[in-house]
């Protein structure tokens, strides 16, 4: 079952969506509850990359009225950035003060190893020890996996060392396996203005909707279609289905829509900004932070970049050399090299503008 609400009052709509949903079947006032937003970068939610604090606020208000007293927010920003900066810039520090809700930086948390689907994965203790995890992803595109929502948002619950390792493993299978270890009690998707180009934001599409439900794979398969992808086009969704973690959305799936009169008239066909630059890049196990910086730089340069051959990026180029251009520390052996781990898009732009 999937629930959707449309409209502009984000906090009120989130509260009303949960009140109309079946979350009460799984939730108890005695539980300790953790909220896991997507704060991958320190950018305002209006840019299309991070979870609106108003969504988290609506959830907190609902939980408090339900009788839940033990509530916290847990998150770990992507490799190369500080979660504390994201908490501040994304409005969660203010939210924490308003409701006396602790903010937990998972980069500083301990972790244990768990096995699923042939993978041994380290998962942060705060995420595993909570009684009820509410996953609050942003519905948006991703430059490497095409799409990110519920399942991939759980990647913020693993240590940075594991995030890097996921990319050496091909990212899709370990993301699917992680969802077999860490299972949210409920999912509330911020589909308000997610970026339909890539995960760092900057090209938001105003959709004015919030989506909720118990089954993350079901929700992801539905959300993928909302932005123009069949679930089978997203490898980690296929792997999750093969692991027996759920089923894809079908016409028979029960869909409850609220605020239908506010449903926006907007074209949600995907923008292939990231895809059109892939022919310029030779990627091997690149981290998302590094890869998206390259996409962003190329997009901003608009054809002004100057380099021979392809841009080489990723951990697979560690110790290798050649005549092309290396991006980031892992590809430092190439004749031309732009340093950083990850390099900033501005640094890549400067390097690609040199003669």
- Residue-by-residue pLDDT tens, the chain, 355 positions: 999 998 889 999 999 999 999 999 999 999 999 999 999 889 999 988 899 999 999 999 999 999 999 999 999 998 878 999 999 999 999 999 999 999 999 999 999 999 999 999 999 999 999 999 999 999 998 878 888 999 999 999 999 999 999 989 999 999 999 999 999 999 999 999 888 666 666 677 778 889 999 999 999 999 888 887 889 989 999 999 999 999 999 888 999 989 867 665 544 444 455 667 778 888 888 876 677 678 767 877 877 877 888 899 988 999 999 888 999 999 999 988 999 887 887 788 888 887 4
Q: How are the residues of the chain apportioned to helix, strand and coil, as percentages rounded to the nearest 5?
A: 40, 20, 40
Q: What is the pLDDT of residue 200?
A: 65
DSSP 161-179: HHHHHHHHTTSHHHHHHHH
Burial class (CB in 10 A: 0-12, 13-18, 19+), 152: buried
Would you call 5 helix, strand, or coil by DSSP? Answer: strand
Would you call 301 helix, strand, or coil by DSSP? Answer: helix
Cβ-contact 184, 153 below 8 angstroms: no
- C-alpha of 266 from chain center: 22
Enumerate the β-bridge partners of residue 5: 210, 258
* Cα end-to-end span (Å), the chain: 56
Alpha-carbon separation of residue 295 from 97, 237, 274, 313 (angstroms): 36, 24, 6, 11
188, 293, 176, 23: CA torsion to nearest 10: -10
Cα–Cα–Cα angle for 42, 175, 143, nearest 5°?
55
Token pair for 208:
């004015």
The answer to whether domain 2-262 has CATH 3.40.1190.20 is no
Q: Domain limits of the chain?
A: 2-262, 275-353
Cα–Cα distance measured from residue 273 to residue 328, given in angstroms and rounded to the nearest whole number: 22
Report which of 125, 114, 131, 104 is spatially closest to residue 36, judged by C-alpha positions: 104
Cα–Cα distance measured from residue 239 to residue 229, given in angstroms and rounded to the nearest whole number: 16
């Amino acid at each position: 079952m999937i629930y959707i609400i449309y409209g502009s009052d984000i906090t009120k709509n989130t509260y009303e969506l949960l009140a109309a949903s079946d979350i009460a079947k799984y939730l108890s006032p005695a539980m300790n509850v953790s909220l896991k937003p997507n704060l991958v970068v320190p950018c305002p939610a209006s840019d299309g990359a991070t979870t609106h604090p108003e969504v988290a606020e609506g959830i907190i208000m609902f939980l408090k009225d339900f009788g839940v007293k033990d509530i916290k927010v847990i998150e770990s920003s992507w490799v190369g950035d500080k979660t504390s900066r994201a908490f501040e810039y994304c409005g969660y520090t203010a939210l924490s003060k308003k409701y006396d809700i602790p903010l937990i930086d998972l980069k500083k948390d301990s972790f244990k190893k768990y096995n699923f689907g042939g993978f041994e994965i380290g998962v942060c203790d705060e995420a595993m020890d909570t009684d009820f995890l509410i996953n609050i992803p942003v519905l948006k595109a991703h430059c490497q996996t095409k799409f990110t929502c519920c399942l991939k948002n759980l990647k913020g619950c693993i240590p940075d060392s594991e995030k890097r390792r996921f990319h050496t493993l091909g990212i899709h299978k370990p993301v699917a396996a992680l969802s077999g270890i860490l299972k949210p009690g409920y999912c509330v998707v911020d589909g308000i203005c997610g970026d339909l180009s890539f995960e760092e934001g900057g090209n938001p599409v105003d959709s004015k909707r919030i989506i909720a439900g118990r089954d993350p794979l079901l929700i992801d398969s539905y959300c993928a279609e909302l932005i123009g992808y069949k679930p089978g086009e997203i490898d980690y969704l296929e792997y999750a289905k093969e692991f027996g973690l759920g089923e894809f959305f079908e016409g028979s799936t029960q869909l409850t829509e609220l605020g239908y009169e506010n449903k926006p008239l907007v074209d949600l066909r995907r923008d292939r900004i990231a895809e059109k630059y892939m022919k310029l890049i030779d990627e091997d196990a690149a981290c998302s932070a590094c890869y998206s910086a390259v996409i962003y730089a190329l997009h901003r340069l608009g054809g002004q970049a100057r380099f021979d051959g392809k841009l080489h990026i990723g951990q697979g180029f560690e110790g290798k050399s050649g005549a092309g251009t290396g991006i980031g520390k892992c590809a430092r052996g190439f004749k031309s090299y732009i340093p950083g781990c990850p390099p900033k898009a501005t640094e890549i732009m400067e390097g690609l503008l040199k003669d």
